[in-house]
Amino acid sequence: MSTTQVVDVPPIERPESVSLATAEAARMAAALRSLAPDDWARPTDCPDWDVRAMAGHVLGMTETFTGLRRLVPTMRAAGKAAGDGPFVDGLTAVQVRANARLSTDELIRRLEVAGPIAARWRGRRRLMRRFPMKEQLSDGTEETWRMGYLVDLILTRDPWMHRVDLARATDRPMELTADHDGRIVADVVAEWARRHGEPFTLHLTGPAGGQYVSGTGGAELAIDAVEFCRTLSGRAPGSGLLGQAVPF
């Protein structure tokens, strides 16, 4: 396995961000179509969400970013639902509630339709991507992001991580390839490295894995690529450099 210097990992930018978002929505829809009826009620790693509720959130987040007519009222409703709590909690609650009565077939059909529309729309928002927004990480840290970070990266990482949640909840294999999942993971590695700023050698196993190095010396870590991302997202405990949170 070749070693990649983290500084050589290119950022995900348009039009690559659009193609990754389109592919991820399609993979999530395919994973949902593979479920048995009993799978929809299984608990996930997301507190208070079973598979059905999580899928409702994924659809809601996808449809929210298909146009301003959908985005603006959803954000207003999310602000009211959040109250004094984190905005994202209000947003996800609105999405889950709005899609709770859909049949599973209708939910999947709408995700298949909305996925490519949302990916293209997100890729065209040149002015919107400059807007600042506040967000809270899994470790409680509050950050200010540019909207471009959200639409280009987070809105693809989020369904990717929920596809991980889905595979774990239903004990089904997750479709993983180097060109798609490995690219998402590599971008996470690069951001993780920038956030902690320490030297390391990282061996990520599995189809989405790779070997990464930054600086000289430092910690040497070996972990499955998906588990690496679960750890940085706060879904699994991490210590040392693996305690550095990265947004998903």
Query: Which has more confidence, 4 or 131?
Result: 4
Least confident of 102-111, 121-130, 207-216: 121-130
pLDDT at 208: 98
Measured between alpha carbons, how far is residue 83 from residues 26, 92, 121, 161, 230 in Å? 34, 13, 29, 26, 28
Listed in order, strand segments (DSSP E) in 87-194 are: 132-136, 142-146
pTM for the whole thing? 0.93
> Which pLDDT band, with edges at 50, 70 and 90, does 190 fall under?
very high
Give residue-wise pLDDT tens across range 141-158: 788 899 899 999 999 999
Mind listing the pLDDT tens digit for each residue in 158-173?
999 999 999 999 999 9
pLDDT band per the 50, 70, 90 thresholds, residue 206: very high
Question: Which CATH superfamily, name and number, covers 16-170?
Answer: dinb family like domain (1.20.120.450)
Rounded-to-integer distance, Cα 212 and Cα 202, Å: 5
**With bands split at pLDDT 50, 70 and 90, how would you rate the model's confidence at 138?**
low
What per-residue confidence (pLDDT) applies to 76?
94
- Which of the four pLDDT bands, split at 50, 70 and 90, describes residue 179? very high
> Which strand (E) or helix (H) includes residue 166?
helix 155-170
Calculate the average pLDDT of the chain.
95
Q: According to the model, what pLDDT value does residue 135 have?
A: 79
Measured between alpha carbons, how far is 5 from 32 in angstroms, rounded to an integer? 36
Query: Domain residue spans in the chain?
Result: 3-8+179-243, 16-170
Res. 188: pLDDT tops 80? yes
Cβ–Cβ < 8 Å for 23, 180: yes
Close Cβ partners of 38 (under 8 Å, ≥ 6 residues apart) = none
Report CA 238 to chain centroid distance, whole Å.
Answer: 19
Rg of the chain in Å (alpha carbons): 18
Are the CB atoms for 235 and 45 separated by under 8 Å? yes
Pairing of strands 200-205, 219-224: parallel
Confidence class for position 101, pLDDT limits 50, 70, 90: very high
The contacts of residue 2 (CB under 8 Å, 6+ apart) are 211
pLDDT of residue 160: 98
Confidence of residue 86 (pLDDT cuts 50, 70, 90): confident
Q: What is the pLDDT of residue 136?
A: 74
pLDDT at 205 over 90: yes
Q: Is the bond leading into 15 cis (omega within 30 degrees of zero)?
A: yes
Count other Cβ atoms within 10 Å, centred on residue 156: 24
